[in-house]
Structure 1
Amino acid sequence: MKMNWGTGIVLTIVGFVALILVMVVISVRMEGIELVTENYYEEEIKYQDRIDQIDQASELGRDVIAYNSQQKLIELDLPNGSTGSLQFFRPSDSSLDQSIPVKVVKDDVTIVPVDRLKPGYWKIKLEWSENGVRHYQEKKITI
């Protein structure tokens, strides 16, 4: 069977349209992708404050958050008197997100067990006040 140019062009266009329709259907049915936060726009406005806190934390010259994968522990290197909030953020399922208040009462590494968290990708966010200065640091881990 011999095909002419017109038939080939029509078949190519029909194939392309079918491919696009399949991709649209797949993307509409996709689950597990959620917004980063409910109040996204308010968070975006406050982002300059966050940048300043990140700069303050980098000036400390130490990693405040360390993940021990063998023992499934988060180690926080904070001085006595530091207060703040430790957030466990799960991008694929916001119902698993957790927030823990942090108050350091002794000069030592603060240990936070993470063995009860569901295995997978997590973003650890620590916001704290040290000597009256606000700091912020993040760490991405896989449990």
Structure 2
Amino acid sequence: MDWGKGITMTLAAFAVLMLSMVAICVKQDDIHLVTQNYYEEEIKYQDQIDKMINTSQLNYEVLAYDNQLKIIDLQLPTGAKGTLHLFRPSDARLDKKIDFDIIDPNVNSVDVKNLKPGYWRVKLSWTENGISYYQEKKINI
């Protein structure tokens, strides 16, 4: 084999590789953004920082995950209202949002056994006595 054929074969193999990569990328249909309204979320991020500062001033842990029982415990007082967002970074179709209003402090856990195993972010935002809070925890189910 001479140089001309080697270079031609190398370029042809490279072209086939590139065309197959393009075909794979075009066929992919499960591309998800972290959030649909990314820019609006970015502008509101200072409010999020203020909520996280409020949470850091609490003297107790609000969000706890029991890996054995597959339960998320919310240690919130009566009267707290908010949203628990179970966020799956790899697939937005699996995300779940749960609104809550703590009436009985003894009933404040969420069963996550039915969620797909893997990496999840639990985002908890709530209001208590007129003050807004936010806490995020990374879990593996």
What TM-score bracket applies, with the shorter chain setting the length? 0.7 to 0.9
Matched with 1:67 is 65
| Alignment match of 1:57 (pick from 55, 58, 83) | 55
Matched with 1:82 is 80
* 1:33–1:91 Cα contact (<8 Å) kept: no
Greater than 4 Å deviation, 4+ residue runs: 106-109
Matched with 2:14 is 16
Matched with 2:132 is 134
3-state DSSP of counterpart to 2:58: coil
| 2:134 partner letter | Y
**Structure 2 residue ranges without an equivalent (≥5):** none
| Alignment match of 2:97 (pick from 85, 96, 99) | 99
- Give the TM-score, by structure 1 length: 0.78
Matched with 2:31 is 33
User: Percent identical across equivalent pairs?
Assistant: 52
TM-superposed CA distance for 1:33, in Å, is 2.7
Rate the CA distance shift 1:65–1:109 in 2: closer, same or farther, 3 A: farther
**Structure 1 residue ranges without an equivalent (≥5):** none
TM-superposed CA distance for 1:108, in Å, is 5.3
3-state DSSP of counterpart to 1:78: coil
* 1:120–1:142 Cα contact (<8 Å) kept: yes
Which stretch of structure 1 is more off in the superposition, 109-118 or 62-71? 109-118
For residues 23-50 of structure 1, what are the alpha-carbon distances to aligned partners after superposition, in whole Å with 9 as ceiling and x for unaligned?
A: 2211222233312233232222212222
Question: What is the root-mean-square deviation of aligned Cα atoms in Å?
Answer: 2.5
Which stretch of structure 1 is more off in the superposition, 93-102 or 124-133? 93-102
1: distance between equivalents of 2:102 and 2:133?
Answer: 15
